[in-house]
Structures are given as structure tokens and as C-alpha cells.
């Protein structure tokens, strides 16, 4: 493959001048990657209510990281109408309605200071963003960006947009009367003094001809508030009419008062609200509810010009929701106010302000009043865990104690702080992956289990607890719609469906209802009911008993209990005590067949017939760790196969998936499932394997889904077993605590029969249809505290978590308390299955903080190592062991002037990352011993990882160090040190000499080790550096990258897809995605298709899809290289097969074979491409 030539000279630029690198150009080989979103961000950046797609009724829009959603407003809910894609380059979205306009406009700001004015068009389920006007506002050397992000204020009466991108300049954008074009666009310079920085700005009377603007600025002498008018005709900013310099030093928000005279604003600070008007008059009000509150969202909730009352709703980053009520005077001439200079002024109408606590919501980024009449407000969260639609109320809610009711909940994953994969790998190479996500969550649910699974589509839920089994019997159709027989441990009942409810009916006849039913089945000769003591043959119509059989045993005087029963055609197998008995079901009764005696009591049995017509049964015994295959023709043991564990078998299931693919599944007592492949020619069980699924014994059921036979495994963690090609697929089902399932055929509206499942759960019944493809599911865990770091290993039964002290489950108001004790972090040990707290550990002093942790097993002894720092100066290592559910501290090692930043292990060694140093320790059985240390060259080493024999160390100051373990020297040796131009937030090792990371600008890069030349006093010196090999922009910074996948590798399908490396990433906006390293030829094909998709895809303002992924940092720019955008390739499924065949044929004709091809491969086809795209999607 041709090397990619990366010349840093053409990319590296600063704001004032071009920077020329002193090193020579380095050539590194490009990496070939596939990037796709597994779960898009649902955190809301912006929301607004207006007439966006129609002028007939109000609508709500929400803007997320890469999408815009349009909602229709109903009485008590909002319903999504459609969604539009946004490019990653969008950095801001606002809305406003110009004067005399019938619809609201969108103002979109892109990364290079490009502004687009657009309208929305909704058709069916699609939303289109139509650009009406564009403008670009470049920077210059004397301009500094606004610290708090771009600021925008609107003047609808003048159809003016005032945009503040820089502290020294305002961009004025004036639209035409129809809002379809920009009439004028010009800058207005601002003379800044005292290094002033703009904090906030607002038009005081935007709906009138008055153009007064309030500016809140921060200077080196304090905060400054000024009132200034804009002259849009002369295109200038007039001199400030009023200036105030005694503003709260922590003020960050301006709230204009839309009523009253003179024009005024409210300035919200730390614990206070200040009223200022253009006549230099003010009023001050304090409130404890505003103490230490950072306001992140606000909206005008209510205004009454007759009563002179204005109400604002304020939301804080800690979840506080407050009402700010301002009451103005009716008769200003008779009131006495206070001027800024301390004198009295009888002309000032005084203002009374009051702040009320409303309740607690997730950390809000935006508030939008959906209905002023009903007090409905949309609360869009920026951190998680969900957005809300609430309705204000006058009295407290009796349950929540808040002054609002929650109408709708829109779930989302909060900002991802850490990801960790848990994979169980067995000798057979079968992987079952699960992802733990540590996220920001003000409600205490900061730990989320992420796994791929199958969902039950739109299930009908019936509250019915304690049920064990269910059967759907067609002969009972006379009793009602979809008759179902349900049994618990003590009784049996017959029910029918009435709409979405289940009603019990009287069946009559001799059906046994006062006991547990083990098996209920229909044959051509009658209805079979097996109870614990007998077998009953009933007439299908009258349910009158035709025959009965009660088993006996020569070793027991009384009747024995039937353990299990299995029916195959007209042959019934009974298992009781040590005996397996065959019965033949005849029209006239039950004929007793052959029996077999085993050595021990029977725990499970299954009857099946092979494709050749032979009848066999498989039996498991209590005191044996094997299963026996019995030939029913002779009732002799044909084979005994030992399991790969010492657990008893509780249930058995034989399944014939297709020609030559038959399997026998064994549900073990510890929740694992063992299985054999059944050789139908030799009549033997071969290739014993085992996989963990749950924590309690599993049961099995056959069912058909989408025309294919599958096996449903019922347990506390259910799954579906199916076959694709020659591979077994184990797909998790997103239902907790399944006891059993019952297949049901249901007719659709067009009388088409559909395969449904009746799921018997612990406390309810669910009726629905399984999805045909596994999807990513999220299981939030309400820990009650905010988790920061997690450490978990597959072989350990506990999970270690570092979190804060507050418990939101016990105190809903704890999330807005700023007690210093709550800022101290604790160590929580959680049970791996129940996630209940086993024990805790806290530092003795508040000055000490827990920073990192890892599991370590020197010589097979499971230990927990905790990193601690003391006020950021000194550090220490605490070695602990969990004994009888309590943490025992074994040793403490102090590090002077070296705070611990990160920990990891490599075999029997402990690696500790401190500032500028990497320490290597070993365990002597009772204490730590320092072996050696390596100077990293970094300042604050936050990133530390070991993979195979490679070590990666990265710091917050953009330096990287790669090292490799030398077996002869028994130590790590540094391979490369380099100072990159990228501020990495997350890093991971790909292979030796290659790393992947996300920077603070929202870019994703792979770096490879290369050689450079540097001029020195002795001539030219060679050194190893880390050079960019591939890059792409995601928009949101990636906060965590871990090796692993969201789907099992066996789910790849039949296209022989080969993935070299697989990673999962998470962003600060709660987005999850995968990164797959592909083979070169497959990458070339997908890249070719991507380029064709880019040519036909346009976004806002004509931005192409490739521009939306444009790599861009403060020092470097470049087009996407080495990455295929999987999200864009999803559109290939919409292309007709003939068009796709033409594209593939064009690729084949232009392709030049390389030496890496090896043997001549078959040409690609359209069917192969579709299989590849489908298999790639199954991996996420």
C-alpha cells in the first residue's frame, strides 16, 4: 500500500502567523478504519417553541449533537414529527421570528464562523432544512473569541440578528422583509478597555423600534453593565447612556424585563438578583436558593402588563429549578427608589423580587415554554440522564414534594466519563461482551450497562405475578380469543385475551386446576395434561378424561412425583425418581411403553427424534456431572458425555436448526449453559462448550421468529439462541427475570399469521414480537451517588467504584447541596450481579482524595490498589483485599511530591503514573517494592494503558510516550517520546507503535511511530516520533476509548468479514460508537462507496457531508483520511440493486491489484456489499 505523505507545514497555522516545523517531513502508513454511531447523543443543546414548518400551530424543536427533531404539541404530550441531520461542524442553533413573518427562522452557526438562516419543511416523517441566507465572518489577529461561547440576540422589529463572536466586534445581520435573504451584513467595532470580556447581551425592547442593548462585561476591575443603542441606519454603536460598575462579581446572566418603564434588566449573581434600568436606578434582592448556583438555562414563563408582573424560570447545573418573580409598581410617581449614587429619586418605580424553589430536575441546558396557558415547560438536559416535559402547579405534588408534574420523560445517556468492557472468553473462543459506562447523572444513576440484545416490540403488559408456565392450545378456541393455560406452583387456570387484558374463564370437564401443571399439549388423539402425580388424557372438545396414568416405583411405597415430561408427536416421555418411562398416546387411551432405570435420581430429560426418524432421549442425573443419551428403541444408554464443569444440569433442550446443525443445550444450576453439537450420523454428542448467561438455572423453549427456528433461554438474563451460517448466535433479550415463554400464532389485520411470544416474567406477562436484529440496550443502575472511576474484571465477583458521598435515593434535595463533605470521594465495592453496596472506604482527611484504582492479582491473589493524593502535592498507594465482604488494608506506600494520576497492571507488576514519572512496583506478599521508574517527559500523566507488550503514557500537556516490555531485561524500554499538537482527552493502544485518541476539538486520530531528523550541533540526529496516520472530526470530544465491541464477533454473519481491531468510544454528549480496523481491500471498496454517497448528500447551507467530517484544530486542518463514515454508508440500503451493481462494477474496473492481495480473489458483487454492510451494522 502506498504510504501517506503528511506534510505538517501545509496544516500548521496560528492566529497571527504561519508556523514552520523545523523537522523534516515524515511518511507513515495510513490506517484503514470504519467508524459508525452505535447510539446517538440524546442530550439536548437547544430547544425552542414556534411556527417552524407551519403557521397554523406551535411546534417544538430540539437540537442535539448531530440531529434536529421537530415535535407536534398536543394537550399533555409532544409527539415527534420528524428528524433532520446536522453536520458535526454546527456549533450553535437559535430561532427567532422577524416582524410580520408567519414562520420562525433558524440561525445556524458553523465552525468556521459561517452563519446560515434557514427554514424547516416537514413532509411525512422527514424534516428538511432549507437555507435562505448565508454569511461568513472570519477572524483577525486583533480579535479574541468570546469566552462563554458565541452570543446572539435578536431584534424582530428591525429584522436584525446581533451576533457576538469576538469581544471586540459585533456582527449585524439584517434580513429582508420576507426573511428570505440578507439585506445588509456589517461589523460594529467595540472599543474595549481594561481587558474587558463579553459575558452576556440582550435587546431590552426587541418587539419595538427601540434598539437599546444591555451588555454585561468582565474587566480586570470587576463586572461592568452598560446600556447602549445601535444605529442600524448609520451602522454604528452609540455611546453608552448608562454604565454600572457595582455589579455582582459572579454575575453571568441578563434577563430583560419586557414590560414597565423605563427599560430595565435583571442581573442574576451568586445569591442575589439586581435590578437596573436606563435611568440609573436599581433594586437588590438576595436569596439563599441562588447561593452557589450556576444558571445554565432560563425562559420567560409569564408576564402580565396589567399587573406589572414578570416571571422567569431558572435552572442550574446542579438540578435546581427556581422561579424568579419581579413585581413592578403601577404608580411610579409616588414611589421612592434608590439611585446608584445613593440619592433618592421619586420617579423610580421600585421593583420587588422574590425567588422560589420549585424542585429538582436533571442538569438543564435549555428551557422552553410549550404552553403558557397550561404551564407546560420542556426541560432539555445537557448532561443526563433524561429530558422532561413538566407542568407547573400551584400546590406541591404530594409524592415528589415539587411544584410541578412530570408529563413525559425522554431518556438519554449522560456525559460519558469512563468506559470499561467485560468479556468472558472460553477455550472455544466464544465471546460475550458487556460494556460498563460511567456517566454524569445528577440523580445518582451514573453507572449504565450497555449490551447488544433483542427487544420485544411494543409488548402488551399484564400484571400477574408468580406464574411458572404457559401454553397456547388451539383446541380450546371455543372458550375465547387466544386461549392460554397458565400454571403456578399450586394451581392451574385457563384464560383468554380480551383486548389487552387477560380474563380467566371456566373450562369445565376434568381439567385439573388445583395443582401445578408440568406439561400441557394437544395431539390428534386428545389433550395431554401432566401434573406432579399423574398423566391425564382429555377429550379436546368436552375436556372429559379418557385415560390416566400414575407412575410408581419399586423402591418407594408411595406414588412418586413426576420431575419433567416431554412430548414428541404421539410419544410421551416421563421422568420420575430414577426412571424414564415412555407412553404412547392413542385415541382410546395411554399405552405403557418401555422404561429405563438409571443409577441416580433424574433432574432433567428431553425427548427428540433425529432427521432419520430415530427416537432418542437425553437424561441428566442429580449426582452426576454428565448427560446420558438413551436409545428409545432399546431404552439403553447409547452415550454418556461429561460436562466441562462441576454443576448439576437442571434443564435440557434439543434443537435441529437445519441440515447437519443439531445441538443439545444443558441449563446448569449456576446460570451457565453447556451445549453439545449432535452428530446425527454417528448419533453422538460432540464438542462440549459452555457460556455464562445468568445467575439462576435456565430453561429452554422452541419458537419460530421470522421463519427460522430459535431457542429462547429463560433466566434472570434471558437470551435467544439462533444459527447463522455455521455459527451459533447468543443474543441478549432486553427483558429482566423471564421464567418461561410460550409461542403464539396471532392473526394481523390482513389475516396474516404472525409469530408472537407470551413471556412469563416474575411479576407480569408480556405479549409481543421479537425484533429480527439485535440492538444496543441500556440498563441504568441507580447507585444513589455520582461515580467517577470504575474497576471491574470478568473473573472477580465485585466491582470497585470511586464516587461522591451524597445519596440521591434517600434525599432528593441532596443534588443541590454544596456541603464540602459531599465533595469528598469514597470507594464503593458493589456486588457484580445485584450492584448492591457490599462495603465502603473513605479517606481519614478531607484533604486527601481518591484519584484512581485497579484490580491486581499477583500470584493469583485478588487485590485492589487505590491511588490517593493530598491537595495535589503528595501521593500514596493503598493495597486492600476483600475478606468476608470487608476491605482490609494490607499496605500503604507514600510517594513524596508525586500525586497518583493513574494505575494499571502488567502481569505481576503494578504501574503507577505520576507527574513526569512512571513507577513500576512488585508485591512481596506483605508490601510494595519499587523496582524502577521512567521519566515520561509529561507534566500530568492522565492516560496509562498496557496492551500485549506495549505501554502508552499520555499527559494533559499533549506529550506521549510509547514503551515496550523487554523480556531479557524484565523491564519496559522507551520506544518514542513526542510532543504532539493535539490535546488528547482519551487514548488507546491499537498495536505496537500505533495509538488512537480523541482530542479536545472533537477530532479522532490514529498516530503511528515514525522517524524524524532534527538538526543539532553534531549534525543530523534521528529520533522516533508519533505522527498522524488517519483523522476525522466527530464534533463532540471523545472522552473514553476502550478495546472491545458492542456485539459478539460471531454475529458478523456470512460475508467472512475480518476485523483486525475493534474499539468502542464515548463522547461528552453521551454518544456511543465503534471503530473497526479493516483490511485494505475492503476499506478501499467502502471508501469508494462513501465518496459516491458524499457527492449526492448535502447539508445545511450546501455543506457537503465530507466537510462535516473535516478535521480541524487550532494548529492543523485537513480532509478526512483513513476513516470510512459508517453513518453515511447507511444510505446505501436505499440505493436500487442495479445502481449498486454499477458502482461495484466501476470500482472493480478501476481497481489496481497490489502485492497484498496474495491469491486472486473473486470480484465483488452487489449482494456481497450488502452483506458486508449488514454485518458491520450487526457489530454495533
Percentage above 70 pLDDT, the chain: 85
Can you tell me the mean pLDDT for 673-697? 86
SS (H, E, C) 240-286: CCEEECCCCCCCCEEEECCCCCCCEEEEECCCEEEEEECCCEEEEEE
C-alpha–C-alpha distance, residues 1014 and 1018, integer Å: 11
Strands 272-277 and 1038-1043: unpaired
| 288 in Cβ contact with 271 (< 8 Å) | yes
The fold of 454-708 is Methylamine Dehydrogenase; Chain H (2.130.10)
What would the pLDDT profile of 895-913 be if each residue is shown by its tens digit?
988 889 999 999 999 999 9
pLDDT over 90 at 366, yes or no = yes
Residues 815/318, Cβ–Cβ less than 8 Å: yes
CA angle, corner 780, sides to 775 and 786, nearest 5?
Answer: 140
What's the half-sphere exposure (Cβ side, CA atoms, 13 Å) at 1042? 21
Over residues 676-682, the mean pLDDT reads: 88
pLDDT at 2 over 70: no
Q: 528 pLDDT band (50/70/90 cuts)?
A: very high
Q: What predicted TM-score, i.e. pTM, was given to this entire model?
A: 0.80
Give the pLDDT confidence of 136-182 residue by residue, as tens digits.
888 777 788 888 778 888 888 888 888 888 888 888 888 888 778 88
* Number of C-beta neighbours around residue 1009 at 10 A: 19
Length of the chain: 1180
CA atoms within 13 A on the CB side of 159: 19
Residue 5 pLDDT > 50, yes or no?
A: no
Tell me, what's the pLDDT at 10? 33
Percent of the chain at pLDDT > 90 equals 28
Residue 385 makes CB contacts below 8 A (sequence gap 6+) with 362, 411, 412, 413, 414, 439, 441, 442, 443, 445, 780
Is residue 447 pLDDT above 80, yes or no? Answer: yes
**Residue 13: band (very low, low, confident or very high) from pLDDT cuts 50, 70, 90:** very low
Picking from 311, 203, 329, the residue whose alpha carbon sits closest to that of residue 256 is: 203
Kindly state the average pLDDT of the residues 780-786.
Answer: 82
Asked if the model's pLDDT at residue 803 lies above 60, the reply is yes
Q: Which of 378-387, 493-502, 668-677, 768-777 has the lowest mean pLDDT?
A: 768-777
Using alpha carbons, list the distances in angstroms from residue 687 to 631, 641, 643, 664. Answer: 20, 10, 10, 11
Among the residue ranges 111-115, 334-338, 354-358, the one predicted with the least confidence is 334-338
For 4-18+30-35+419-452+780-1139, CATH number? 2.130.10.10
Is 812's pLDDT higher than 60? no
Q: Do domains 4-18+30-35+419-452+780-1139 and 454-708 have the same CATH topology?
A: yes
Any idea what the Cα angle at residue 158 is, between residues 154 and 160, rounded to 5°? 40
pLDDT at 18: 28
- Give the span between the Cα atoms of 29 and 1009, in whole angstroms: 10
* In the predicted structure, residue 490 carries a pLDDT above the cut 60: yes
* pLDDT mean over 1038-1061: 71
Half-sphere exposure of 241 (CA within 13 A, CB side): 18
Sheet with 376-381, side-by-side order of all strands? 364-371, 376-381, 386-392, 404-411
How many CA atoms lie within 13 Å of 306's alpha carbon, on the beta-carbon side? 0
Residues 188-207 have pLDDT tens digits of 887 665 567 888 889 988 88
The pLDDT assigned to 1103 comes to 58
Question: How much is the average pLDDT of 703-732?
Answer: 83
Instruction: Read off the pLDDT band of 498 (50, 70, 90).
Output: confident
pLDDT band, very low/low/confident/very high, at 558 (cuts 50, 70, 90): low
Listed by start position, the domains of the chain span: 4-18+30-35+419-452+780-1139, 454-708
- Per-residue pLDDT band for 608 (boundaries 50, 70, 90) equals very high
Task: Report the Cα 404 to chain-centroid distance in Å.
Answer: 28
- How large is the average pLDDT for residues 1106-1133? 70
Mean pLDDT computed over 1000-1005: 88
Return the minimum-mean-pLDDT range out of 495-504, 905-914, 952-961, 1090-1099: 1090-1099
Residues 521, 249: Cα–Cα separation, whole Å = 78
- How many C-beta neighbours within 10 Å does residue 328 have? 20
1061 backbone dihedrals φ, ψ, rounded to 5°? -140, 150
How far does CA 557 lie from the centroid of its chain? 60
Q: How far is CA 717 from CA 83, 712, 713, in A?
A: 34, 11, 9
**pLDDT value for 938:** 67
The pLDDT of residue 7 is 35
Q: Which of 707-721, 930-944, 1064-1078, 1154-1168 has the lowest mean pLDDT?
A: 1154-1168
Helices and strands counted in the chain (H then E): 6, 92
Q: What integer is the mean pLDDT of 778-803?
A: 83
Mean pLDDT is lowest, of 22-36, 473-487, 908-922, for: 22-36
Of residues 420, 417, 415, 416, the one with CA closest to residue 904: 420
Q: By the 8 A CB rule, do 755 and 706 touch? A: yes
How far apart (Å, rounded) are the C-alpha atoms in residues 842 and 825? Answer: 7
Tell me the pLDDT of the chain averaged across its residues: 82
Using DSSP, state whether 100 is helix, strand or coil.
coil
The mean-pLDDT minimum among 41-45, 55-59, 177-181, 320-324 falls in 177-181
Q: Where are the alpha helices (DSSP H) in 716-871?
A: 820-823
3-state secondary structure of 963: strand
Amino acid at each position: 500500500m502506498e504510504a501517506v505523505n503528511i506534510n505538517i507545514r501545509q496544516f500548521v497555522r496560528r492566529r497571527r502567523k504561519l508556523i514552520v516545523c523545523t523537522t523534516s517531513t515524515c511518511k507513515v502508513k495510513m490506517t484503514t478504519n470504519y467508524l459508525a454511531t452505535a447510539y446517538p447523543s440524546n442530550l439536548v443543546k437547544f430547544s425552542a417553541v414556534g411556527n417552524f414548518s407551519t403557521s397554523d400551530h406551535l411546534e417544538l424543536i430540539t437540537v442535539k449533537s448531530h440531529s434536529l427533531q421537530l415535535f407536534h404539541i398536543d394537550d399533555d404530550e409532544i409527539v415527534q414529527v420528524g428528524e433532520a441531520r446536522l453536520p458535526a461542524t454546527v456549533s450553535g442553533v437559535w430561532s427567532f421570528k422577524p416582524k410580520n413573518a408567519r414562520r420562525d427562522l433558524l440561525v445556524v452557526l458553523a465552525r468556521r464562523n459561517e452563519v446560515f438562516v434557514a427554514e424547516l419543511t416537514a413532509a411525512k416523517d422527514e424534516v428538511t432544512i432549507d437555507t435562505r441566507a448565508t454569511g461568513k465572518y472570519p477572524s483577525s489577529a486583533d480579535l479574541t473569541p468570546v469566552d462563554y461561547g458565541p452570543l446572539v440576540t435578536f431584534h424582530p422589529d428591525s429584522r436584525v440578528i446581533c451576533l457576538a463572536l469576538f469581544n471586540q466586534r459585533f456582527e449585524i445581520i439584517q434580513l429582508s422583509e420576507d426573511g428570505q435573504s440578507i439585506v445588509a451584513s456589517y461589523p460594529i467595532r467595540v472599543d474595549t478597555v481594561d481587558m474587558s470580556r463579553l459575558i452576556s447581551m440582550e435587546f431590552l425592547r426587541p418587539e419595538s423600534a427601540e434598539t437599546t442593548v444591555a451588555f454585561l462585561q468582565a474587566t480586570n476591575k470587576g463586572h461592568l453593565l452598560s446600556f447602549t443603542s445601535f444605529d442600524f441606519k448609520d451602522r454604528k454603536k452609540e455611546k453608552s447612556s448608562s454604565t454600572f460598575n457595582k455589579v455582582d462579581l459572579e454575575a453571568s446572566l441578563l434577563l430583560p424585563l419586557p414590560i414597565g418603564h423605563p427599560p430595565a434588566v435583571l442581573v442574576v449573581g451568586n445569591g442575589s438578583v439586581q435590578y437596573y434600568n436606563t435611568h440609573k436606578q436599581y433594586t437588590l434582592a438576595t436569596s439563599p436558593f441562588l447561593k452557589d448556583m450556576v444558571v445554565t438555562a432560563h425562559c420567560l414563563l409569564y408576564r402580565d402588563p396589567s399587573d406589572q408582573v414578570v416571571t422567569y424560570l431558572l435552572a442550574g447545573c446542579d438540578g435546581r429549578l427556581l422561579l424568579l418573580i419581579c413585581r413592578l409598581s403601577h404608580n411610579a410617581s409616588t414611589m421612592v427608589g434608590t439611585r446608584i449614587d445613593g440619592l433618592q429619586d421619586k420617579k423610580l418605580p421600585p421593583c420587588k423580587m422574590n425567588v422560589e424553589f420549585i424542585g429538582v430536575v436533571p442538569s438543564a441546558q435549555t428551557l422552553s415554554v410549550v404552553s403558557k396557558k397550561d404551564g407546560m415547560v420542556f426541560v432539555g438536559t445537557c448532561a443526563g440522564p433524561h429530558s422532561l416535559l413538566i407542568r407547573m402547579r400551584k400546590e406541591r405534588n404530594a409524592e415528589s414534594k415539587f411544584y410541578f408534574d412530570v408529563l413525559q420523560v425522554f431518556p438519554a445517556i449522560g456525559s460519558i466519563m469512563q468506559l470499561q468492557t467485560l468479556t468472558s472468553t472460553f477455550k472455544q473462543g466464544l465471546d460475550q461482551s458487556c460494556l460498563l459506562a460511567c456517566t454524569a447523572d445528577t440523580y445518582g444513576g451514573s453507572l449504565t450497562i450497555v449490551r447488544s440484545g433483542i427487544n420485544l416490540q411494543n409488548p402488551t403488559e399484564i400484571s400477574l405475578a408468580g406464574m411458572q408456565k404457559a401454553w397456547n392450545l388451539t383446541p380450546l378456541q371455543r372458550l375465547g380469543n387466544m386461549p392460554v393455560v397458565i400454571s403456578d406452583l399450586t394451581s392451574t387456570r385457563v384464560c383468554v385475551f380480551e383486548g389487552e387484558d387477560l380474563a380467566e374463564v371456566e373450562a369445565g370437564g376434568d381439567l385439573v386446576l388445583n395443582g401445578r401443571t408440568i406439561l400441557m399439549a394437544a395431539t390428534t388423539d386428545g389433550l395431554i395434561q401432566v401434573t406432579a402425580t399423574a398423566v391425564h388424557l382429555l377429550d379436546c372438545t368436552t375436556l372429559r378424561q379418557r385415560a390416566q396414568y400414575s407412575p410408581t416405583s419399586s423402591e418407594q411405597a408411595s406414588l412418586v412425583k413426576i420431575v419433567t415430561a416431554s412430548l414428541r408427536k404421539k410419544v410421551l416421555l416421563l421422568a420420575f425418581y430414577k426412571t424414564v418411562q415412555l407412553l404412547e398416546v392413542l385415541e382410546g387411551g395411554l399405552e405403557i411403553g418401555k422404561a429405563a432405570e438409571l443409577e441416580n435420581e433424574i433432574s432433567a430429560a428431553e425427548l427428540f427424534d433425529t432427521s432419520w426418524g430415530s427416537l432418542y432421549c437425553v437424561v441428566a442425573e442429580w449426582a452426576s456431572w454428565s448427560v446420558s443419551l438413551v436409545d428409545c428403541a432399546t431404552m439403553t444408554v447409547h452415550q454418556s458425555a461429561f460436562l466441562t464443569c462441576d454443576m448439576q444440569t437442571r434443564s435440557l433442550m434439543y434443537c435441529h436448526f437445519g441440515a447437519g446443525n443439531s445441538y443439545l443445550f444443558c441449563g446448569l444450576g449456576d446460570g451457565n449453559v453447556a451445549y453439545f453439537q449432535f452428530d446425527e450420523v454417528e448419533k453422538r454428542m460432540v464438542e462440549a462448550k459452555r457460556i455464562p448467561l445468568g445467575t439462576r438455572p435456565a430453561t429452554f423453549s422452541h419458537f419460530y421468529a421470522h421463519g427460522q427456528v430459535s431457542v429462547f433461554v429463560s433466566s434472570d438474563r434471558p437470551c435467544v439462541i439462533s444459527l447463522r451460517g455455521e455459527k451459533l448466535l447468543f443474543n441478549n433479550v432486553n427483558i429482566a427475570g423471564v421464567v418461561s415463554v410460550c409461542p403464539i400464532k396471532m392473526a394481523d389485520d390482513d389475516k396474516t399469521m404472525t409469530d408472537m411470544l407470551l413471556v412469563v416474567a416474575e411479576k407480569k406477562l408480556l405479549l409481543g414480537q421479537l425484533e429480527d436484529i439485535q440492538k444496543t440496550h441500556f440498563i441504568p443502575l441507580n447507585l444513589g451517588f455520582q461515580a467517577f472511576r470504575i474497576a471491574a474484571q470478568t473473573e472477580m465477583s465485585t466491582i470497585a467504584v470511586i464516587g461522591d458521598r451524597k445519596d440521591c435515593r434517600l434525599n432528593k434535595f441532596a443534588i443541590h447541596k454544596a456541603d464540602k463533605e459531599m465533595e469528598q470521594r469514597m470507594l464503593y465495592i458493589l456486588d457484580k450481579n445485584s450492584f448492591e453496596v457490599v462495603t465502603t472506604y473513605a479517606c481519614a482527611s478531607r484533604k486527601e482524595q481518591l484519584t484512581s484504582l485497579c484490580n491486581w492479582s499477583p500470584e493469583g491473589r485478588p487485590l485492589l490498589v487505590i491511588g490517593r493524593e493530598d491537595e495535589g502535592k503528595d501521593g500514596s498507594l493503598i493495597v486492600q483485599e476483600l475478606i468476608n465482604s470487608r476491605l482490609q488494608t494490607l499496605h500503604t506506600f507514600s510517594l513524596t511530591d508525586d500525586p497518583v494520576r493513574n494505575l494499571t497492571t502488567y502481569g505481576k507488576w503494578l504501574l503507577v503514573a505520576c507527574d513526569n514519572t512512571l513507577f513500576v512496583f512488585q508485591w512481596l506478599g506483605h508490601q510494595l517494592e519499587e523496582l524502577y521508574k521512567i521519566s515520561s517527559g509529561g507534566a500530568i500523566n492522565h492516560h496509562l494503558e498496557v496492551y500485549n507488550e506495549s505501554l502508552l503514557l499520555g499527559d494533559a500537556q499533549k506529550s506521549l510516550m510509547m514503551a515496550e516490555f523487554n523480556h531479557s531485561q524484565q523491564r519496559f524500554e522507551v520506544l518514542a517520546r513526542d510532543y504532539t499538537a493535539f490535546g488528547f482527552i482519551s487514548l488507546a493502544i491499537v498495536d505496537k507503535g500505533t495509538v488512537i485518541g480523541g482530542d479536545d476539538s472533537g477530532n479522532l486520530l490514529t498516530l503511528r511511530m515514525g522517524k524524524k531528523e532534527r538538526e543539532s550541533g553534531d549534525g543530523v540526529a534521528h529520533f522516533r516520533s508519533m505522527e498522524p496516520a488517519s483523522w476525522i472530526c466527530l464534533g463532540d470530544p471523545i472522552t473514553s476509548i476502550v478495546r472491545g465491541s458492542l456485539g459478539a464477533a460471531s454475529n458478523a454473519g456470512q460475508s467472512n468479514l475480518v476485523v483486525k481491531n475493534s474499539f468502542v468510544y464515548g463522547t461528552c454528549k453521551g454518544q456511543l460508537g465503534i471503530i473497526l480496523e479493516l483490511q485494505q481491500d475492503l476499506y478501499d471498496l467502502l471508501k469508494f462507496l462513501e465518496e459516491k454517497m458524499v457527492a449526492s448528500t448535502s447539508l445545511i447551507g450546501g455543506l457537503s457531508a465530507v466537510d462535516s467530517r473535516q478535521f480541524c484544530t487550532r494548529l492543523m486542518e485537513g480532509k478526512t483520511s483513513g476513516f470510512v463514515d459508517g453513518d453515511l454508508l447507511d444510505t446505501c440500503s436505499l440505493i436500487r440493486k442495479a445502481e449498486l451493481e454499477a458502482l461495484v462494477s466501476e470500482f472493480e474496473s478501476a481497481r489496481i491489484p497490489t502485492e497484498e492481495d496474495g491469491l486472486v480473489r473473486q470480484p465483488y458483487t452487489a449482494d456481497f456489499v450488502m452483506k458486508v454492510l449488514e454485518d458491520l451494522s450487526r457489530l454495533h
